[in-house]
């Protein structure tokens, strides 16, 4: 089942390449079969046998964490950039939401894996995803505190808002992905309206 079984032997590539090669195979399987994909299936897809996966990633959680990490850092950087872009507050808000929704729209299977199904089974994976949301929330909290000019003793309030807003965008994305009642731009606008209104009133 390997896509290039002739290159299966890692000595032709070096360990670094092998790892990427295995992650590519794992990602294909996970995006195709969902997060309940078995290690057997992943090994078969890569054209190798199971113990190799375990040598590289320790256990299933390790593989899934590696899989998530490949995308989390990229996504986080993207969102941080949108949140700190020199522009109006409204534009920054819309840019961040839009970046998020582009991922959701462009690769729903990856989105679900990163945000939901990472939560499956092994707690390590869930922790990794939770940590991603947390880092995102904390980054946003700093922006909110600055935006509202909150003194340091009111930072927890900004954090409450920030983590809430992250969850809001995610939940709205989920609903929108199922329903598709309007285009991406409309959802961006609606959510930005909500957040902007809260800002304006604070």
Partner DNA sequence: GCTAGTGTGTTACCGGCGGTAACTTCTGTC
Partner DNA sequence: GACAGAAGTTACCGCCGGTAACACACTAGC
Tell me how far apart the alpha carbons of residues 171 and 153 are, in angstroms, rounded to a whole number.
29
Q: How many helices (H) and strands (E) does the chain have?
A: 9, 0
Question: What angle do the packed helices 108-115 and 89-106 form, to 10 degrees?
Answer: 110
Q: Residue 7 or 119: which CB sits closer to a second copy?
A: 119
What is the helix (H) or strand (E) element at residue 152, kind and residue range?
Answer: none
| Contact positions with DNA (CB under 7 A) in 36-55 | 38-41, 48-52, 54
- Is 191 one of the binding residues for a second copy (CB under 8 A)? yes
Selected from 3, 33, 171, 185, the binder of a second copy by CB under 8 A is: 171
Quote the tokens at residue 193: 């309206």
- Is 106 one of the binding residues for DNA (CB under 7 A)? no
Tell me how far apart the alpha carbons of residues 199 and 16 are, in angstroms, rounded to a whole number.
47
Stretch that binds a second copy, among 4-12, 18-26, 65-73, 117-125 (CB under 8 A): 117-125
Q: Which positions touch a second copy (CB under 8 A)?
A: 36, 116-117, 119-121, 126, 130, 133-134, 137, 156-157, 159-161, 163-172, 174-176, 179, 181-182, 186-187, 190-191, 193-202
């Amino acid at each position: 089942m390997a896509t290039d079984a002739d290159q299966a032997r890692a000595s032709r590539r070096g360990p670094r390449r092998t790892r990427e090669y295995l992650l590519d195979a794992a990602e294909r399987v996970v995006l195709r079969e969902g997060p309940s994909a078995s290690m057997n299936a992943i090994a078969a897809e890569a054209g190798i046998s199971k113990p190799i996966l375990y040598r590289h990633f320790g256990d299933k959680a390790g593989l899934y964490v590696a899989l998530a990490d490949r995308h989390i850092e990229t996504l986080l950087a993207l969102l941080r950039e949108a949140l700190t872009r020199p522009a109006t507050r409204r534009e920054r808000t819309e840019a961040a939401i839009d970046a998020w929704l582009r991922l959701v729209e462009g690769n729903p299977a990856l989105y679900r894996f990163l945000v939901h199904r990472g939560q499956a089974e092994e707690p390590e994976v869930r922790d990794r995803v939770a940590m991603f949301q947390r880092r995102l929330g904390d980054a946003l909290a700093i922006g909110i505190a600055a935006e509202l000019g909150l003194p340091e003793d009111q930072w927890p309030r900004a954090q409450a808002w920030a983590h809430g807003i992250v969850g809001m965008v995610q939940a709205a994305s989920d609903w929108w992905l199922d329903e598709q009642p309007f285009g991406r731009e409309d959802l961006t606008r609606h959510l930005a309206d909500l957040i902007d209104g809260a800002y304006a009133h604070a």
